[in-house]
Structure 1
Amino acid sequence: MNAVPIHFRLHHTEAVTSFAKLVKEDARFSVVLPGSAEADKPAGLVIVEVGGTQDVPVIAVLAANPSVREIFVIGPAQNADLILGCMRAGATEYLPLPLKVGEFRAALDRFATRNTRSATERNAGQPQPTRPGRIIHILGGKQGTGVTTIAVNLGVEASQLEDARPAALVDMRQPQGEVPLFLDVHYTHTWAAATHNAHRLDDAFMQSLMVRHASGLDILAAPDRSEDTGAAAPQAVAAMLSIMRSMYSTVFVDGSPFVDEISLAAMREADVVLLVSELSLPCLANTRRLLETLDSVDPEVADKVQLVVNRYTTKAGVTIAEAEELLGRPVVWKIDEDYIAAVNSINMGTPLRDTAPKSPLTRNIAKLAATFSRPATSSSPMKPKSGFMGKLFRASQAEAGTDEQQTPMHILQGAGG
């Protein structure tokens, strides 16, 4: 394989000389020195030094160049906003100053591995991913609404659907997640490792943190203690999910019902926020308060919310229409009650598709997973209306004389529920 050229865009000439010496004897790379004929035509690997967020646009320009394979950034440590900005602009590695020789060489090794893998795939004629994955954040109106059961089984079902990339599940419930218990998996790393190593975030590092379930679902466990996440956790979580979007077809997040900086950072990265409620007045009241909180704290996140009714039964005493009226937006999906199937699945550490494949609970979750794993059609979840548009939407329904059988939930479910 031909040597990959490395371009250095550093603040000091002597720094370029030092780096050139580090890679001089590595046959995998060739050094392009400043002032040479090739220096103004970046290709291969580009290493850029940044001093602050004002330098981030340079990275975006380089990332837009198809000749540039990857961008390494060297910059100040403990600057989470700068790190996140660089990663979002297109950097694949962030190496904090003062730079350690071992870290630099390890980063080159990771690049070489990725570059070799890409070349192999190109030579084999394998199609490259052309679209980013989706991030689906799931949280409950209150604790105990079955969010983890839904998240775990959505992930398992999505992993069974045909796609070039697998699905992933991130356990972000605090203070302690339960996803590993639901699937009986043992883990070594948690996403706290990502928040403490924001400068190392790339697909190879993220893959090293995951554990794969027998279904093919990749799982990223939650830290055992919330204090393990570190001060820069919100920014690092956003960068982490952004990277995972490129790695997986769908990333499901088992989210916390508490609106804090970490959960907001995760929801801002999401394409859809599934808010799970039950048809009980206490749960609906809590769900409404949560919606009001999201509306006031971050309206853009609130606009992503789609309501899901879990443990649905006609004997609840509260109808779907009444829940929609109370919450001010449509219910897009319902998941039927099957307490015995759910509890057996949890106690056995086995997904519903294996313990209760014929349960309506299993079928409802499988259908919901499918809506996030295929191109949007007329049967895909409708984006809920909120604020003035929401009122206008509901008013138009009333004027048209629509009834409960024509709500978005029923359009989604289709014949047979």
Structure 2
Amino acid sequence: MSNVLRLAIVDPNDGDREALKATLMGLDTVWLEAECSRYAFFKDVVEETHPDVAFISMDADPEKAIELVEELARQKPEVALLVASSSTDGAMILRSMRAGAKEFLTKPLRPDDLATALQRIGRTRFGAEGAGAGSCRVIAVSGCTGGVGSTSLAINLGCELASNPTNSVVVLDLDLALGDADVYLDTIPEYTLTDVAQNIGRLDFTLLKRSLTKHSSGVYLLPRPVQLEDSKLVTTDDLTRVINLLRATFTHLIIDTSKAYNELDLLAMDLASDILMVTQLDLPCLRNVVRLMMSFEQRGALREKVKIVVNRVGQGGASISVKKAESTLGQDIFWQLPNDFRTMIEVRNNGVPLLEQAPKAPLTQSIQQLARELTGGSSAGESDSGAKSGRSWLGLWGKKGAAEEPASAEG
């Protein structure tokens, strides 16, 4: 993404530098391109990495820091210089600004102050629209049990989003043991999540995309490890850095979580903007959803991000209505996907997304509507009632009450 700021930082104080890196990891419009612990080497670092912003901590040696600012301002005028110091001496602040610094921050750094300063730099570099467009939509797709269609939804939702040329979309397969997202796209990846995680410190945007598998639909894939034992090599810190790099590079990140709900899955859900919980209208599935929602209540705002998606609505033998399911779950069902098992089996076995093999199928159209609902892409001419009707099965019923019956009516 062109509106992500790439930073290089220099701070001889190891503790302060690590604290700054931790703060930067929480900003999805920023990527840490390089770090340095000595002023004397920082000019070479900037020359090699070509960052958008050079962050210079002045406390270790204010005089050398100001000299560095002057030199970078003269030799690399395209790089915005941001300085920070625990001193509030007006004379030193004035000297640093005259030397070429664009922003001066007081330490200890407050995350909101740092974010605001970077936003100002972003507006200068990208313009008002670009500065506000850097946020990535992270969507975690989770199943209440195996076989409910969560991977199918993750892949086909990603392909649908990627069909919009203004979007750049990546799917991360987080089922490290048994993930099969690559099968749905008929790809043999050269690199996996383990490869990216172990080399995250050496990757930039260009190298990252070369490490991903790009499908003809435009969607990128970061698959699970090839060897089962390699799944143990990915830590929560690794995953955090990978997700931060992906969301700094793409407009949409789809995460297909495992059914283990382990630390990696929960971390991904914590970092997600939305969580699509895929279920079916049967008692075991609904019971699992209730159990999961009870656990999510212990993790802050996690439950508030969950959107219930019912798959295979209309399959024969379903004994629980949508209305009863909502009563059991204690919340509204966000979306209903129609039962089209034969089409889904065909596209999975062929390794072709729904959008390519069955663009007019009811299931494909429903996922298209879901993508618009999640991203606010509905046309300006749609009325509120029209948008709401899309949440029923394919929008074929305009009233909620009518949407409660298809589970038993369709075969």
What TM-score, normalized to structure 2? 0.66
Instruction: Pick which of 340-349 and 171-180 moved more.
Output: 171-180
Q: In 1, Cα distance between the equivalents of 2:50 and 2:134?
A: 30
Identify the residue that residue 113 of structure 1 maps to in structure 2: none
SS of equivalent to 1:57: coil
Identify the residue that residue 308 of structure 1 maps to in structure 2: 309
Q: In 2, Cα distance between the equivalents of 1:39 and 1:319?
A: 70
Q: In 2, Cα distance between the equivalents of 1:249 and 1:322?
A: 37
Q: In 2, Cα distance between the equivalents of 1:14 and 1:235?
A: 22
Q: In 2, Cα distance between the equivalents of 1:349 and 1:274?
A: 23
- Residues 205 and 312 (structure 1), Cα distance of their counterparts in 2 relative to 1, 3 Å cut: same
Check the 8 A contact 2:194/2:234 in 1, yes or no.
no
Q: In 2, Cα distance between the equivalents of 1:221 and 1:162?
A: 23
Q: CA deviation at 1:230?
A: 5.0
Q: In 2, Cα distance between the equivalents of 1:27 and 1:131?
A: 21
Q: CA deviation at 1:217?
A: 0.6
Identify the residue that residue 349 of structure 2 maps to in structure 1: 347
Q: In 1, Cα distance between the equivalents of 2:213 and 2:261?
A: 27
| Residue deviations 1:66-90 (CA, integer Å, cap 9, x gap) | 59989xxxxxxxxxxxxxxxxxxxx
| Residue deviations 1:88-110 (CA, integer Å, cap 9, x gap) | xxxxxxxxxxxxxxxxxxxxxxx
Q: In 2, Cα distance between the equivalents of 1:168 and 1:250?
A: 7
- Residues 28 and 279 (structure 1), Cα distance of their counterparts in 2 relative to 1, 3 Å cut: closer
Identify the residue that residue 109 of structure 2 maps to in structure 1: 57
Matched positions, count:
328
Identify the residue that residue 373 of structure 1 maps to in structure 2: 375
Identify the residue that residue 406 of structure 1 maps to in structure 2: 400
Check the 8 A contact 2:172/2:253 in 1, yes or no.
yes
SS of equivalent to 2:259: coil
Identify the residue that residue 249 of structure 2 maps to in structure 1: 247
- Choose which of 261, 273, 278 in structure 1 pairs with 2:263: 261
Structure 1 gap ranges (5+): 49-54, 71-117, 382-403, 411-417
| Residue deviations 1:29-74 (CA, integer Å, cap 9, x gap) | 99994342846998546799xxxxxx9838886665459989xxxx
Calculate percent identity across the aligned residue pairs: 24
Q: In 1, Cα distance between the equivalents of 2:153 and 2:352?
A: 13
Q: In 1, Cα distance between the equivalents of 2:281 and 2:234?
A: 38
Check the 8 A contact 1:33/1:39 in 2, yes or no.
no
| Residue deviations 1:186-215 (CA, integer Å, cap 9, x gap) | 211112233323434653443232111001
Q: CA deviation at 1:288?
A: 2.0
Q: In 1, Cα distance between the equivalents of 2:185 and 2:68?
A: 57
Letter of the 2:162 partner, please give it: S
Q: Does 1:139 align with 2:139?
A: no
Q: CA deviation at 1:235?
A: 2.4
SS of equivalent to 1:262: helix
After TM superposition, list the pairs within 5 Å mapping 1:173-192 onto structure 2.
Answer: 173-192=175-194
SS of equivalent to 2:334: strand
Q: In 1, Cα distance between the equivalents of 2:274 and 2:143?
A: 14
Check the 8 A contact 1:255/1:263 in 2, yes or no.
yes
- Residues 239 and 26 (structure 1), Cα distance of their counterparts in 2 relative to 1, 3 Å cut: closer
Instruction: Pick which of 132-141 and 223-232 moved more.
Output: 223-232
Q: In 2, Cα distance between the equivalents of 1:161 and 1:249?
A: 11
- Choose which of 320, 323, 329 in structure 2 pairs with 1:321: 323
Q: CA deviation at 1:162?
A: 4.2
- Residues 67 and 347 (structure 1), Cα distance of their counterparts in 2 relative to 1, 3 Å cut: closer
After TM superposition, list the pairs within 5 Å mapping 1:69-84 onto structure 2.
Answer: none
Letter of the 1:334 partner, please give it: Q
Identify the residue that residue 387 of structure 1 maps to in structure 2: none
Q: In 2, Cα distance between the equivalents of 1:268 and 1:27?
A: 31
- Choose which of 140, 154, 157 in structure 2 pairs with 1:154: 157
RMSD, matched Cα = 4.4
- Residues 380 and 178 (structure 1), Cα distance of their counterparts in 2 relative to 1, 3 Å cut: farther
| Residue deviations 1:354-413 (CA, integer Å, cap 9, x gap) | 2222221111111111222336895779xxxxxxxxxxxxxxxxxxxxxx9437989xxx
Q: In 1, Cα distance between the equivalents of 2:361 and 2:49?
A: 58
Q: In 1, Cα distance between the equivalents of 2:244 and 2:291?
A: 29
SS of equivalent to 2:375: coil
- Choose which of 225, 239, 250 in structure 2 pairs with 1:223: 225
Q: Does 1:361 align with 2:384?
A: no
- Residues 7 and 137 (structure 1), Cα distance of their counterparts in 2 relative to 1, 3 Å cut: closer
- Residues 236 and 173 (structure 1), Cα distance of their counterparts in 2 relative to 1, 3 Å cut: same
| Residue deviations 1:107-135 (CA, integer Å, cap 9, x gap) | xxxxxxxxxxx99x99xxx9677241211
Q: CA deviation at 1:304?
A: 0.8
Greater than 6 Å deviation, 4+ residue runs:
23-32, 45-48, 67-70, 407-410
Q: CA deviation at 1:142?
A: 0.3
- Residues 236 and 61 (structure 1), Cα distance of their counterparts in 2 relative to 1, 3 Å cut: farther
Instruction: Pick which of 169-178 and 127-136 moved more.
Output: 127-136
Identify the residue that residue 23 of structure 2 maps to in structure 1: none
Q: In 1, Cα distance between the equivalents of 2:114 and 2:261?
A: 36
- Residues 44 and 407 (structure 1), Cα distance of their counterparts in 2 relative to 1, 3 Å cut: farther
Letter of the 1:170 partner, please give it: L
- Residues 299 and 406 (structure 1), Cα distance of their counterparts in 2 relative to 1, 3 Å cut: farther
Identify the residue that residue 334 of structure 1 maps to in structure 2: 336
Instruction: Pick which of 56-65 and 306-315 moved more.
Output: 56-65
SS of equivalent to 1:300: coil
Q: CA deviation at 1:25?
A: 9.4
Structure 2 gap ranges (5+): 1-6, 15-35, 57-62, 74-78, 85-106, 389-397, 405-411
- Residues 324 and 194 (structure 1), Cα distance of their counterparts in 2 relative to 1, 3 Å cut: same
SS of equivalent to 1:153: helix
SS of equivalent to 2:363: helix
